[in-house]
Structure 1
Amino acid sequence: MDQLTIVHLSDTHLTGDTRLLYGKIDPWRRLARALSAAEQLKPDALVLTGDVADRGAAIHADAAAILAEAQYLLGCPIITIPGNHDPAGSIGPVFNTTRLSTGPHPANTVHDIDGLRIIGLDSGGFQLARGRIDTAQRAWLDRLLSVSAPKGTLLLLHHPPLESFSLALSGRGLENPEELASLVAGSDVRAILCGHYHQTGTSQLLNTPVFMTPATSYNMSPFAPTEVVKEDCAWFSVLRISTEQVVSVPVSTGRMLPQQERTENYLSLRRG
């Protein structure tokens, strides 16, 4: 098949006033820079794997407006799932406007990207570090995966179904990952995309690749797990998907020189 390009953002941690993260990081500007940089890559879809808000801040209407503008400018679907910082129901109908169907919760959605199926799973668990997929979601996913998509499937989760490289994050992944493993085994799932750990990483769930993207807001050093990495830029990942392979590469906006005009355009949509 023709190669598809997927831009993978996560953990934007948007604040509800002028508050800066750690007293110096403007998460709104970092999201705007990431979206501006993504335009240069001409993606077939952009996915955002949770923690849209920081600590439950009521920013989701503004975030949806920015993502709607980005969807128009990028000319591709934007697919969003919640994380543990997003209140239940906050990723509702104003998000995922290109979805084909909705599952047991508003953020469980199905999308078609030129034959590639992307399924969003809500593992959020507001204010809980550990995520979970409930019985209704597992049954829904099992029904979907009983029929293969022409170009396979990507699963989106906030919580990785595996432990972090950093001991400080131990116990903060997906609860009972073996239940998810039993569903994807033998299916057409080509990769699982996650966030949550604020670190880049790759692993496997049985034989299914798992790609963890760096956070758009800020990242943590895996060797000094309470230390915020201090680069003044946003990070995300770019996936290239072909018949033969799925490749994921972390990208720094500091090396891409996002368009300043586009960045300011996105920021102008924020009402808060």
Structure 2
Amino acid sequence: MAKEGDGADSIVAATITDDAPTKAISSQGMESINATATAMTKAKNAIVVVEEACTSSKKPEEPKNPKTQVLIVPLRWMSLGMTRAKQQLVLLLAMRLRTVKTQMMTSKLQEVKAEADEKLKSISGENVLLQINCKALKNENAKLFKGYDDLEAKYTSMKALVKEKIKAAKSQAEAFKIELEATKGTNAESISKVAELLKSPPGFFKKQVKEYTTMVSTHILLVAKYLYPRIELEAIGEGYADGTSEEQALKLINDINGVATSIFNESLDL
């Protein structure tokens, strides 16, 4: 039996070393233990109060619930005039409360752990999907960059080619301009010269030239009438339309000069 002033540990040690401590608990005491344990499982705050009472030497405050009042008596106070059976009852109750609390904490920890595992699995699955999507996006991004580089290379090549074409076209235009400047007025001079020459040849030559000219003109008019049935031959015989300038006439002559030469050569072969 613990002496007055000893701590709760001394009471526990003394109680455990007694001979057959369980025999000191009557059937009525066991019923009291069971009833008290049932009441304490329904009142969670009593667990905390009992634990504080087991480790504190101060007198605890009065509980709000009168049903738990008997459970907050410190073990040191029980050693004063308390029977061994009652001490054993309180100790068993404290041990059962500790066991219940441990089980509750273990169950809660298991629930939290299971919930954390589920969340971890969900997050892991989402992470895998994100990694797959990220890899696909990286591949697509690489393809887009490659396509952009190819297009940029083609654009650079086409730009250089266009510059070369423009440069060549400018050079050719300058050459054509020089040639046109050199041949300016040649057709008018040729026509005047031909007219002068036609006045001087003998009559036979004039007749031959007239026949060939008539034949070529007929051939040209025939082709024009065949291609354009609505054309009026009388209007052709009247000459250029009113308002036609000399420059326009010379331009028309230059445009049809090649065709006229071809038709003339064909007429000579007939």
TM-score bracket relative to the smaller structure: under 0.3
Q: Which structure's CA Rg is the greater one?
A: 2
**Structure holding more strand per residue:** 1
Report the structure, 1 or 2, having the larger helix content: 2
TM-score (structure 1 length as normaliser): 0.18
